[in-house]
Amino acid sequence: MIEGEELYRLITAKPEMTYSITHTADFDGVGSAAIIVNYTKMPLDHIFFIGYTKEDIESAHRWISDIRPSGSTVIFTDISANDTLLPYIIRLLGEIRSNGNTIAWIDHHPWSDTAIKEIREYCDLIICGENEKYCAAELTYQIMSYGGNSAEPIAKTAHLTDFNLRTEKNKGLLDKLACTITFINHNYSGSDRMRELRRMTGIVSGCDFDNEFINETFEAYTVEAERNLVLLNQNAESFQVGRYRIGIGYGKNIHTNAACALIQDKLDTDISVMIFTDTGQISFRSRKGVDCSPIARAFGGNGHPNAAGANPERHNLGIEEVDALKREIVRIASSIYAM
């Protein structure tokens, strides 16, 4: 095992031999990679974005097989190791390790004891488990700040976005960054999506949050979201499960927090669920004191008590599939919360 300072020295000495595999869905993942770029000037095409599906892990495996890094350092950030994905993650790590690479994993989501034990065998540095104080970008910054505080604004902004600490003063910036990422993920796919996320990471690495690319992308998001929020308001419905009211809605190209806030406000829910019909992603948000993460884990996902998600292997859902998924969510919630 190595310490954080040793990892910092290693990757800043050889940025051309540093690779980042990070979370695609929010600013914590983008910010974590941006912090690494800030200190190392690592090439942007050394970044690969993934979510929490078997398909995502396998795509990262194909990327590693294609580029075949050797004697390099691969850093995973803001990615939880869900038990259902462990066989695929272990194969990916085995591929990386077989070529003499160093592996670091930095995350702040809950992990099972099994996941920690199995993945630790492959990692030279591992920081994982539920962390209510720091997000992944902040943990990454703590390591990289051996080189000074140049990326501190990125870490602070990631903290505000990941813990949803919106105020009248900062909500414009936080919404802009989060919704830019949402627009990219919902409107691009494959290499185009990777290109746009890498572009945003490069911009953010210079602590430039008021960039033309980000502003224009956010404007495009806003136009689409206005239409999609109207449709969500029409289809959201609530279900009583034990002592909790669960609201479920569906749609696409809406930032998760905005979608779940609409559902909660309209239906006065304890748990709000958003089904994204294009990607198949399911997002969960809950009131303080209500843990929504068990539902996410039942779908192979993970998360925090008040913010969780899952990515079942399904895409482009029709109305019948959405209705079936609603029934499944209510059934699982009933088994968890019914008294």
Token readout for 266 is 């309209």
- Using alpha carbons, list the distances in angstroms from residue 134 to 94, 110, 142, 220, 280: 29, 13, 10, 31, 28
- pLDDT of amino acid 87: 96
Q: How many CB atoms lie within 10 A of CB 232?
A: 22
- pLDDT of amino acid 183: 94
- pLDDT of amino acid 112: 92
Question: Residue type at 308?
Answer: A
Q: Distance between CA atoms of 66 and 73, rounded to whole angstroms? A: 16
- Using alpha carbons, list the distances in angstroms from residue 226 to 90, 220, 223, 230: 42, 10, 6, 7
Q: Are 37 and 201 in contact (CB under 8 A)?
A: yes
- pLDDT of amino acid 339: 61
Element (H, E) at 113: helix 113-120
pTM (2 d.p.): 0.88
Per-residue tens of pLDDT for the chain, all 339 residues: 899 999 999 999 999 999 999 999 899 999 999 999 999 999 999 999 998 888 999 999 999 999 999 999 999 999 998 888 999 999 999 999 999 999 999 999 989 999 999 999 999 999 998 888 999 999 999 999 999 999 999 999 999 988 878 788 998 999 899 999 999 998 999 999 999 999 999 999 999 999 999 999 999 999 999 999 999 999 999 999 999 999 999 999 898 888 998 999 999 999 999 999 988 899 999 998 999 999 998 998 888 888 888 887 777 899 999 999 999 999 999 999 976
Exposed / middle / buried, residue 206 (Cβ in 10 Å: 0-12, 13-18, 19+): middle
Domains and CATH numbers, the chain: 4-169 (3.90.1640.30), 236-337 (3.10.310.40)
Question: Residue type at 263?
Answer: I
| Max CA distance (Å), the chain | 57
Counting every residue written for the chain, the total comes to 339
Q: Are 23 and 38 in contact (CB under 8 A)?
A: no
Q: What are the residues whose beta carbons fall under 8 Å from the beta carbon of 26, sequence distance 6 or more?
A: 78, 161, 162, 178, 181
Question: Residue type at 162?
Answer: D
